[in-house]
Structure 1
Amino acid sequence: MTDKMNSTMKFKIEQEKDEKAREIIIQVYKALEKKGYNPVNQFVGYILSGDPSYITSHEGARSLIRKIERDEMLEELVKDFIKNNR
């Protein structure tokens, strides 16, 4: 028997969730920039209030942002900040 048959597979749903959140944040950021908004200010307004009107509907950004929870978004932003500022 090979080692592969004796080893336990790891299910990586967290990593997939993080990647999905990251992709959505980047797409929404780009849409906000294209429309002339300050993306950081708009994200902060959305995260604090939960009001999706802080996010433009341009390129489906408002619909995209609703696919992830605000706490997931905040977690991803904090993780990325810490990773890049150690």
Structure 2
Amino acid sequence: MGNISNTQYFKVNSETEISVKEILDTVYNAMTEKGYNPVNQIVGYIMSGDPTYITSHKNARSMIMKVERDELVEELLKEYIKNRAWQ
């Protein structure tokens, strides 16, 4: 047994981390499959914070709730700028 006055750290990775981009892709596809306009619904969620804008199909609602809304905006803006969509 080691020194009992030191605290040992133990980290459990319960879930595989998924990127914001992958979450947005999954949510977009789930919304499309259910017949919703994914852009309108995602904007509604980002603006209001109300998760009912997102379908629970394919676990999309619980996935998007794991990400802060500002992170969603950041990812969308990065992709927009990267693709230079204004040109």
Same fold judged by TM-score > 0.5?
yes
Q: Partner of 2:50 in structure 1?
A: 51
Q: Partner of 2:30 in structure 1?
A: 31
Deviation at 1:59, TM superposition (A): 0.7
Are residue 68 (structure 1) and residue 62 (structure 2) matched?
no
Moved over 4 A (4+): none
- 1:42-83 deviations in Å (ceiling 9; x for gaps): 010000000000000001000000111000000000000000
Give the number of equivalent residue pairs.
Answer: 69
Pairwise CA RMSD of aligned residues? 1.5
The structure having more radius of gyration, on CA atoms, is 2
- 1:13-68 deviations in Å (ceiling 9; x for gaps): xxxx8x71000000000000000000000010000000000000001000000111
Instruction: Give the unaligned 5+ runs of structure 1.
Output: 1-16
- State the TM-score, normalizing by the size of structure 2: 0.76
Instruction: Give the unaligned 5+ runs of structure 2.
Output: 1-16
The one-letter amino acid of 1:20's match is: S
Find the aligned partners of 1:22 and 1:58 in 2 and give their Cα distance: 18
